[in-house]
């Protein structure tokens, strides 16, 4: 299990094709990369000489100092020590002269942190453990120090021990000791490192931080509000650095990227977090093809070597094609079972409900061929498909959901439809620029954000039938999840003003700075943002994005460890000119204001 670390640090895919050409085109850049392709020095500057997980037969005879946590102890003879790199067996000395070392190693509770020094020796013949990477050796201890003792734990630090997510989040610092969390966070760090390398060293991007105290952006997601000391004035946490990255293009920064923290106050959803991370990118003088090639190269370059390689270019579908064939704008293309239109077969039948459907405007009869359905699906499954169809009747996304439901049922019966090792990327393009507003379908809202440029062939429709205009937006989909999206932007101030004021009925004063900037020689530009948490979640196969974030919020947006958000006493709110108006049913909460509060369970 613990060879993973070396693989992780060595293991990044060798770029091929166009990318290889780009890399090879500059020898000096290639040299920089080559020198970075080595296992890092894990024991520099610290008290240990080696990590627990790295010791092998080749180290026999070496004097080593190790620091780690006590994983378990066997019969007061062996102790297994653990660090992020792996496990190693330590022999507890039995001689009278070593009584003090023995006492420390026999009495320290499990998960106490100790430092031991001694010699690496071969295990006696027959006692090797082939399941353990360090299983050929053990440590003959000379000295030991208890660095810190561990009290009784809320759960054991073992991967197979089941614990609720609430408990894991409450004691996140203990949960982080698990192999899985170590792997996920280290893989994340490595992929981000490779992305930086690709963007900055190979393609001249500039890593620029943008403010997180900002103001409200009209349209789009709901933002978190931050009070200021000026009465009635508030900052907002940015839902993305969208305006700043466009302004950087006006400022001539040309190729920007940032590992950007974004905030959206959208309530709880299983695969969302109120704060999340994007790989945010913007370029001047670029078109859709340019952005797509950049991202394909970026993913190929940063992809871990222990996964199936990324094949480029990624296929693409228009929004209309995706809806027609898969019933969703984020199709899982790892399997077929596409939706097919069979209206023509039924035009002349007398089946009442089909005739009824076909007589409606845009009415159609569509089908999904469940391959091997007769072989795998039981009567119970067919009944559940029927119920599913009835429950979702009249939703246009019904067939898309039904397709996934059928895939779940087939897989539950043992058919492997979605190979877990397969990564199926897809571009979805030609989205509508506007959608009817949910609360008032007579008005329009941006399908993505108001800075997205219209499709050049639909420009004229903007002034006649804006609801028919396609946009220059593109989404990147991986295995049925949207992992990124972006667009070519409007760089003409007049057009931007028309979209905001006339079509979207937004207050243009809120964006006067951006409109003004577009008037001062803004270059044509476009960009994209990749959702880093979701991407890493799919790469690692983690069940939730919370498993790839060191300190995530709970499903309800709480930090279960520190209990944020928390109340503040009225005197601390005074400088912000804020008073809480307590809802009638929250008396209990009000009275708990000065008492310690308890985390959600």
Helices in 25-163 by DSSP H: which ranges? Answer: 27-36, 99-107
Residue 466 or 484 with smaller CB distance to ligand ASP: 484
- Shortest gap between Cβ of 301 and ligand ASP (angstroms)? 20
Enumerate the β-bridge partners of residue 140.
91, 119
Q: Which of 249, 486, 532, 535: binder of ligand ASP (CB under 6 A)?
A: 486
- Shortest gap between Cβ of 529 and ligand ASP (angstroms)? 4
Residue 503 engages ligand ASP in binding (rule: CB under 6 A): no
- Shortest gap between Cβ of 399 and ligand ASP (angstroms)? 27
Please tell me the distance from the alpha carbon of residue 556 to that of residue 266, in angstroms, as a whole number: 10
- Shortest gap between Cβ of 487 and ligand ASP (angstroms)? 5
Q: Which helix (H) or strand (E) holds 497?
A: helix 493-497
CA-CA distances (angstroms) from residue 601 to 139, 155, 249, 265?
42, 15, 46, 22
C-alpha Rg value of the chain to the nearest Å: 29
Residue 258 or 487 with smaller CB distance to ligand ASP: 487
Q: Select from 85-93, 367-375, 483-491, 533-541 the region that touches ligand ASP (CB under 6 A).
A: 483-491
Q: Select from 46-54, 462-470, 481-489, 567-575 the region that touches ligand ASP (CB under 6 A).
A: 481-489
66 — phi, psi (to 5°)? -120, 145
N- to C-terminal Cα distance for the chain? 32
- Shortest gap between Cβ of 27 and ligand ASP (angstroms)? 33
Residue 71 or 452 with smaller CB distance to ligand ASP: 452
Site string for ligand ASP, 513-552 (x = CB under 6 A): --------------xxx-----------------------
Residue 454 engages ligand ASP in binding (rule: CB under 6 A): no
Residue 314 or 431 with smaller CB distance to ligand ASP: 431
Enumerate the β-bridge partners of residue 580.
none
- Ranges within 221-250 binding ligand ASP (CB under 6 A): 240, 242
- Shortest gap between Cβ of 553 and ligand ASP (angstroms)? 19
- Shortest gap between Cβ of 424 and ligand ASP (angstroms)? 22
CA-CA distances (angstroms) from residue 438 to 309, 441, 443, 446, 471?
41, 6, 9, 11, 19
Tokens of 592: 């708990």
- Shortest gap between Cβ of 262 and ligand ASP (angstroms)? 6
Residue 121 or 208 with smaller CB distance to ligand ASP: 208
Helices in 392-455 by DSSP H: which ranges? Answer: 398-412
Please provide the DSSP assignment of 313-339 as one string. SPPEEEHHHHHHHHSSSS--TTS---E
Please tell me the distance from the alpha carbon of residue 244 to that of residue 451, in angstroms, as a whole number: 12
Task: Kindly list the residues in this chain that would bind ligand ASP in the complex (CB under 6 A).
Answer: 240, 242, 485-487, 527-529
């Amino acid at each position: 299990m613990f060879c993973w670390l070396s693989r992780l640090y060595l293991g990044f895919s060798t770029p091929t094709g166009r990318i290889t050409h780009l890399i090879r085109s500059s020898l000096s850049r290639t040299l920089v990369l080559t020198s970075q392709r080595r296992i890092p020095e894990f024991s520099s500057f610290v008290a240990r000489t080696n990590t627990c997980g790295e010791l092998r037969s080749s180290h026999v005879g070496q004097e080593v100092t190790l620091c780690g946590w006590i994983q378990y102890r066997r019969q007061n003879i062996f102790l297994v020590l653990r660090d992020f790199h792996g496990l190693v067996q330590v022999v507890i000395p039995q001689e009278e002269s070593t009584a003090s070392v023995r006492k420390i190693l026999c009495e320290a509770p499990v998960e106490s942190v100790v430092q031991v020094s001694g010699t690496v020796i071969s295990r006696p013949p027959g006692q090797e453990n082939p399941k353990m990477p360090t299983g050929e050796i053990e440590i003959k201890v000379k000295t030991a120090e208890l660095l810190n003792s561990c009290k009784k734990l809320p759960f054991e630090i073992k991967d197979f021990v089941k614990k609720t997510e609430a408990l894991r989040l409450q004691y996140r610092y203990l949960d982080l000791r698990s192999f899985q969390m170590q792997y996920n966070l280290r893989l994340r760090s490595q992929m981000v490192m490779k992305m930086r390398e690709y963007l900055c060293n190979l393609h001249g991007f500039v890593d620029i931080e943008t403010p997180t105290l900002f103001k409200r952006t009209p349209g789009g997601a709901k933002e978190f509000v931050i009070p200021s000391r000026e009465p009635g004035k508030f900052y907002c946490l940015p839902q993305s650095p969208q305006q700043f990255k466009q302004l950087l293009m006006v400022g001539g920064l040309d190729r920007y990227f940032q590992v950007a923290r974004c905030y959206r106050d959208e309530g709880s959803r299983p695969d969302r977090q109120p704060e999340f991370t994007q790989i945010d990118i913007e370029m001047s003088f670029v078109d859709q093809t340019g952005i797509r090639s950049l991202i394909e190269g970026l993913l190929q370059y940063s992809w871990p070597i222990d996964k199936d390689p990324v094949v480029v270019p990624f296929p693409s579908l228009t929004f209309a094609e995706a809806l027609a064939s898969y019933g969703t704008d984020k199709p899982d293309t790892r399997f077929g079972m596409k939706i097919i239109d069979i209206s023509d077969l039924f035009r002349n039948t007398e089946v009442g409900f089909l005739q009824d459907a076909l007589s409606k405007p845009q009415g159609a009869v569509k089908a999904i061929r469940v391959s091997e359905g007769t072989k795998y699906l039981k009567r119970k499954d067919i009944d559940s498909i029927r119920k599913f169809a009835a429950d979702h009747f009249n939703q246009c996304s019904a067939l898309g959901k039904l397709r996934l439901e059928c895939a779940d049922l087939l897989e539950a019966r043992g058919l492997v439809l979605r190979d877990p090792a397969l990564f199926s990327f897809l571009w979805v393009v030609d989205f509508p620029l506007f959608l009817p507003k949910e609360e008032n379908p007579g008005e329009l809202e941006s399908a993505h954000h108001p800075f997205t440029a219209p499709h050049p062939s639909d420009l004229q429709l903007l002034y006649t039938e804006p609801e028919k205009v396609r946009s220059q937006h593109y989404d990147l989909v991986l295995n049925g999840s949207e992992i990124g999206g972006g667009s070519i932007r409007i760089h003409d101030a007049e057009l931007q003003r028309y979209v905001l004021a006339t079509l979207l009925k937004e207050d243009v004063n809120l964006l006067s700075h951006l409109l003004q900037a577009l008037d001062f020689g803004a270059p044509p530009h476009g960009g994209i943002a990749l959702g880093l948490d979701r991407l890493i979640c799919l790469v690692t196969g983690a069940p939730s994005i919370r498993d790839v974030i060191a300190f995530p919020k709970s499903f309800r947006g709480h930090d279960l460890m520190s209990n944020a958000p928390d109340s503040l006493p009225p005197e601390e709110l005074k400088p912000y000119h804020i008073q809480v108006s307590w809802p009638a049913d929250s008396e209990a909460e009000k009275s708990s204001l000065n008492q310690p509060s308890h985390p959600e369970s």
